[in-house]
A and B are shown apart, each in its own frame.
Chain A
Amino acid sequence: MSTPVALDADAVRALLEDVRDPEIPILTIDDLGVLRDVAVDDDGSVTVVITPTYSGCPAMQTIADDIRAALAEAHCTQVRIETRLAPAWTTDWLSAAAREKLLEVGIAPPLEATSDKRVLGGHPRGVACPRCRSGDTELVSEFGSTACKALYRCRSCLEPFDYFKCL
């Protein structure tokens, strides 16, 4: 048994850099904005605060397990995982790097400026095809392969693609 090593918050964050969204594994939980806060107590115990993307996100348990596993590898086992609901997660929290990564794997990133409530009332306009970048696209279904995506089709290259929904 190795003795537990005291880590600071930055070291904990570094350990969590490879914890990924099990449904979109190119994104880390930090890219997604799911990782909200990291705190280390005087006694060395670690608190990790996460927030769910969607109420019904089935990945939260896996993410919590993965966080524990990543920290356990550094012999950090005094870990508390806290779920924080407020402020509610929004696609605005996706980092610029995350948007680029989504495009690379053929998922259209959410349109910017989601504080504009009109997007919720009407169908989003101008979702560009991640393959040919054409703006001539149509919605196939409000729900795609996972809770956070909608299914679109490109009228230019005729390929279907996932769109990361604005929320």
Chain B
Amino acid sequence: MSSAHFRYVLRLGDNALVLGQRLSEWCGHSPFLEEDIAMANTALDHIGRARMLLSHASAIEGKGRDEDALAYLRDEREFGNFLICELPNGDYAFTLVRQYLLDVYHQLLFEALRASADEELAAIAAKAVKEAAYHARRSGDWVLRFGDGTDESQARAQAALDALWSYTGELFTPDAVDDAMQAAGIAPDLAQLGARWRQIVEAHLVAATLNVPPDDWQADGGREGLHTEHMGRLLAEMQFVQRAYPGLDW
């Protein structure tokens, strides 16, 4: 139970950390200044969320691995983030369609986690849910602008959605850790969450004149540490300084 608990909170932290790392890659490269600032701020929110979750995971584990050790000194196979978080940013449509799909997921997840039997997790969720709602508003606006925009922006948004759809099944397919956490009153029912997510996302995609892709093959494995080829490179960049200069502090 306590190892499942650690793993559950760690995975939430990994999602925030890896997505935050991806978002931070836009810093200095976004299409215009306001977006650059927005992207950097959103990245910061995710990294802040990761810090709270990884600190909490560290306390549950109780082995003296702090948030930094968990972020910078674990290997790829030990990361439990969803595959969708680690996919390269692609174009702006890809980044923001992914962000929208995950923002709505996080908004619903944190709304539910406010009632978690894990009080610290409930407190983190109460904080994160407000930011997730704010993020979802912005990414949702972009999905509308891309989808209902020019032929070019529509085509790119649709291509992004088609590529990303197969990575959303993982969010709502409970594994042994999710089941144990739901039984303990720590995590919500993923089937319910998934149904609600689908309702919101599909209505928004229709409003954005985008086609909801068919439900065929779904990628899986991120939670067990089986990552895509992109994960190693992401970690190499994120962890380089601590790996090259162990214990470096400034």
Q: Give residues in A with beta carbon < 8 Å to B.
A: 52, 54-58, 85-90, 120-121, 123, 140-145, 147, 151, 165, 167
Q: Given A86-B119, A144-B37, 8 other A-B contacts at CB below 8 A?
A: A55-B45, A55-B49, A85-B52, A89-B127, A143-B34, A151-B34, A165-B134, A167-B130
Q: Which 6 A-B pairs have the closest CB atoms?
A: A56-B48, A55-B48, A56-B44, A86-B123, A141-B34, A143-B38
Contacts of A142 in B (CB 8 A): 38, 134, 137-138
CA distance in complex: A142, B136 (Å): 11
B49 close to A56 (CB less than 8 A): yes
Contact: B134 with A55, CB < 8 Å? no
Beyond A56-B46, A85-B52, is A141–B126 a contact (Cβ under 8 Å)? no
Q: Shortest beta-carbon distance, A70 to chain B, in Å?
A: 24
Residues of B within 8 A of A123 (CB): 137
Set of chain B residues within 8 Å of A165, measured between Cβ atoms: 134
| Known A-B contacts A142-B38, A151-B34; A58 and B137 likewise in contact (beta carbons under 8 Å) | no
The reply to whether B45 and A54 form a contact with Cβ atoms under 8 Å apart is: yes
User: Of all chain A residues, which has the CB nearest B133?
Assistant: A120
Closest CB of chain B to A52's CB: distance in Å?
A: 7
Q: Which of B109-153 contact A (CB under 8 A)?
A: 119-120, 122-124, 126-128, 130-131, 133-134, 137-138
Contacts across chains A and B counted by CB atoms under 8 Å: 73
The reply to whether B48 and A54 form a contact with Cβ atoms under 8 Å apart is: yes
Contact across chains for B123 and A88 when beta carbons are under 8 A apart:
yes
> Considering the chains assembled together, what is the distance between the CA atoms of A5 and B27 in angstroms?
48
Q: Which residues of B contact A87 (CB under 8 A)?
A: 126
Q: Which residue of B lies closest to A119 (CB)?
A: B133
CB-defined contacts of B157 to chain A, threshold 8 Å? none
Q: Total interface residues on B, using CB and 8 Å?
A: 29
Any A CB within 8 A of the CB of B242: no
CA distance A88 to B49 in the complex (A): 13
Closest A-chain residue to B52, C-beta based? A55
Q: Which of B37, B45, B126, B130 contacts A86 (CB 8 A)?
A: B126
Please pick, from A54, A58, A140, A151, the residue contacting B131 in the complex, using a CB distance under 8 A. Answer: A54
Chain A residues near B120 (CB-CB < 8 A): 85
Is B21 engaged at the interface, CB distance under 8 Å to the other chain?
A: no
Cα separation A103 to B104 with both chains bound (whole Å): 33
B23 to chain A minimum Cβ distance, whole angstroms, is 11
A145 to B40, CA, bound (A): 11
Q: Are B131 and A55 in contact (CB under 8 A)?
A: yes
Q: Which residues of chain B from 59 to 96 have a CB within 8 Å of any chain A CB?
A: none
Q: Could you list 10 A-B pairs, sorted by A, with CB under 8 Å?
A: A55-B52, A85-B52, A85-B120, A86-B123, A88-B127, A89-B127, A90-B130, A120-B134, A141-B35, A141-B37
**Chain A residues closer than 8 Å to B209, beta-carbon distance:** none
Contact of B130 among A120, A121, A141 (CB under 8 A): A120
Cα–Cα, bound, A35→B20 (Å): 28
Look across to chain B and name the residue whose beta carbon is closest to the beta carbon of A89. B127
**B47 on the interface (CB 8 Å rule)?**
yes
Say yes or no: is B41 at the interface (Cβ < 8 Å to chain A).
Answer: yes
Q: Tell me whether B15 is interfacial, beta carbon within 8 Å.
A: no
Measured CB to CB, the nearest residue on chain B to A149 is B41
- Which residues of B24-64 are within 8 A (CB) of A? 34-35, 37-38, 41-49, 51-52
Residue pair A88, B130 in contact (C-beta under 8 Å): yes
Check if A56 sits within 8 Å of B47, measured CB to CB: yes
Contact call A88/B38, Cβ cutoff below 8 A: no
Measured between beta carbons, the chain A residues less than 8 angstroms from B48 are 52, 54-57
Other-chain residue from B35, B38, B49, B137 in contact with A120 (beta carbon distance below 8 A) = B137
CB distance from B199 to the nearest CB of A (A): 15
Distance, CA A58 to CA B45, complexed state (A): 10
A140–B38 CA distance with the chains assembled, in angstroms: 11
Q: Which residue of A lies closest to B35 (CB)?
A: A141
